[in-house]
Amino acid sequence: MIKKKLSIVDIANKLNISKTTVSFILNGRAREKRISEELVERVLKFVKEVGYKPNSLAKSLRTGKSHIIGLMVENIADPFFANIARYIEDGAYKNGYRIIYCSTDNDADKTRDLIGMFRDRHVDGYIIAPPVGVEEDIAELLKDDLPVVLFDRYFPGIDCSYVVTDNLDSTYTATEYLVEQGYKKIAFITLESHQTQMQARLDGYKKALEQNNLQSYIKEVVFNQETKYMLEPIADFLKNNKDLDAIIFGTNRIGTCGLKVIHNMGIRVPDDIAVISFDDHDVFELYSPSVTAIAQPVEEIAANTINILLSKLDSSTPNTDNKKVTLQNDLIYRGSSQVNTKLSAVK
């Protein structure tokens, strides 16, 4: 007894009226089209009764709007992106939009392919944490007047809305903080990457060291999904630089990997070595003693991103300039009695 799905034509036939009338009523254009109250009610009642729902594919084909937002993150399994995905989902959902997501793995070719797939599915808007190498593809989207918001990183040469954090200032402040505490041999262990946010983090570190005439110790690790392949190079680096007294990790992933190495090598934090990591994570809070972290305002990032996109999608708002938002990170001091401080206040 499979009840075939009803179409608008079925509704119209059952009520002996035209499907257009039904369409107008269902789209709230009854008054505008001067359709009698009585008929409106009759239709609405019947529609509710039989549980009719318009086929959104057909609707999308005709209107060109899919009410779907394409979300491209580096890796949905990464807690930073997973959390952002959740907040974005909530914001979108409340406004009648759905999310179709995918992970780019920072692979430009894969990303290009995914953008193409989003395009031919006619997503209404794009939220992208873009890998290096897709500048032209983003530019293409913009040229075709499609709503795009980048986050986490951006392309300096492209005029596009984005939401990022003050990466450079954060690592600068964190490094300065370590210097003030008397640390001299401070390493920066990060992922090998040419993305703006990763470069900025590195630059902040370099800037602080230069200003203090300290030597830099930089290790760039190649990303790998398999944790063991990330542990080895970190372990090697630490073995070859036994005199380090502090480390800053460039991402949460490298930070947890680094802690595993430190843990395995029996190095004590902060007695043997001080540690600060970019991105906050339960691990940093629970590690003994807990680890100071540069916490990105995940909820704010997501809220800004989705709101900018929604306002672009809202045809009633005039097509204003692209919004470029830089949010402040929180340096969460741990392992001492200090109070957390907005980085601005530290500067």
Partner DNA sequence: TAGAATCAATTTATCGATTTACCAATAAAA
Partner DNA sequence: TTTTATTGGTAAATCGATAAATTGATTCTA
Q: In the complex, which residues of this chain contact its own copies (CB under 8 A)?
A: 2, 53-58, 60-61, 66, 68, 75-79, 82-83, 85-86, 89-90, 93, 98-103, 116-117, 119-122, 143-145, 256, 259-260, 263, 281-283, 285-288
Q: Which is nearer to its own copies, 55 or 211 (CB)?
A: 55
Shortest distance, CB of residue 120 to DNA, whole angstroms?
8
Q: What distances in angstroms separate CA 33 from CA 13, 26, 42, 162, one per listed residue?
A: 20, 12, 16, 41
To its own copies, the closest distance from the beta carbon of 145 in angstroms equals 7
Candidates 311, 317, 308, 9; CA nearest to 161 is 308
Which letter does DSSP use for residue 166 in this model?
A: -
Residue among 167, 160, 161, 163 at smallest CA distance from 152: 163
Cβ 306 to DNA, closest distance in Å? 25
Write down the least CB distance from residue 116 to DNA, Å: 13
Q: How far is the CB of 173 from its own copies (least distance, A)?
A: 25
Residue corresponding to tokens 């040419």 = 194
The option from its own copies, DNA, none interacting with 101 (CB < 5 to 8 A, set by class) reads its own copies
Give me 246's structure tokens: 């502090």
The listed partner (DNA, its own copies, none) that binds 315, CB under 5 to 8 Å by sort, is none
- Radius of gyration of the chain from its Cα atoms, rounded to whole angstroms: 26
Those residues whose C-beta lies under 8 Å from the C-beta of residue 174, and which sit 6 or more positions away, are: 204, 248, 276, 292, 294, 331
Question: Whose Cβ is closer to DNA: residue 43's or residue 257's?
Answer: 43
- DSSP label of 278: E
Residue 143 binds: one of its own copies, DNA, none (C-beta under 5 to 8 A by kind): its own copies
Distance, in Å, from the CA atom of 150 to the CA atom of 155, rounded to the nearest integer, reads 9
What does 116 bind: its own copies, DNA, none (CB cut-off 5 to 8 Å by kind)?
its own copies
Cβ nearer to DNA, comparing 59 with 324? 59
Task: Rank residues 39 and 327 by Cβ distance to DNA and give the closer one.
Answer: 39
Nearer to DNA, 59 or 207 (CB): 59
Buried b (16+ CB within 10 A) or exposed e, 211-245: eeebeebebbbebeeeeeebbebbbebbeeeeebb
Question: Cα separations (Å) of 130 from 62, 73, 166?
Answer: 31, 8, 17
Of 194 and 229, the one with the shorter C-beta distance to its own copies is 229
Q: Which is nearer to DNA, 53 or 94 (CB)?
A: 53
285 binds, among its own copies, DNA, none (CB under 5 to 8 A by kind): its own copies
Least distance to DNA, CB of residue 59, Å: 4
Q: Report the residue number, 57 or 339, with the smaller CB distance to its own copies.
A: 57
The least CB distance from residue 3 to DNA, in Å, is 12
Q: Which is nearer to its own copies, 13 or 227 (CB)?
A: 227
Q: Are strands 68-73 and 246-249 parallel, antiparallel or unpaired?
A: unpaired
- Which positions lie near DNA, rule CB under 7 A? 5-9, 16-21, 23-24, 26-27, 33-36, 38-39, 53-55, 58-59, 61-63
- Cβ–Cβ < 8 Å for 204, 169: yes
Binding-site partner at residue 222 among DNA, its own copies, none, CB < 5 to 8 Å by type: none
Determine the number of helices (DSSP H) and then strands (DSSP E) in the chain: 14, 13
**CA nearest neighbour of 134 among 118, 121, 120:** 118
Shortest distance, position 83 Cβ to its own copies, whole Å: 5
SS3 294: strand
Q: Which does 307 bind (CB under 5 to 8 A by kind): DNA, its own copies, none?
A: none
Least Å from the CB of residue 38 to DNA: 7
Say how far apart CA 310 and CA 245 lie, in whole Å.
Answer: 47
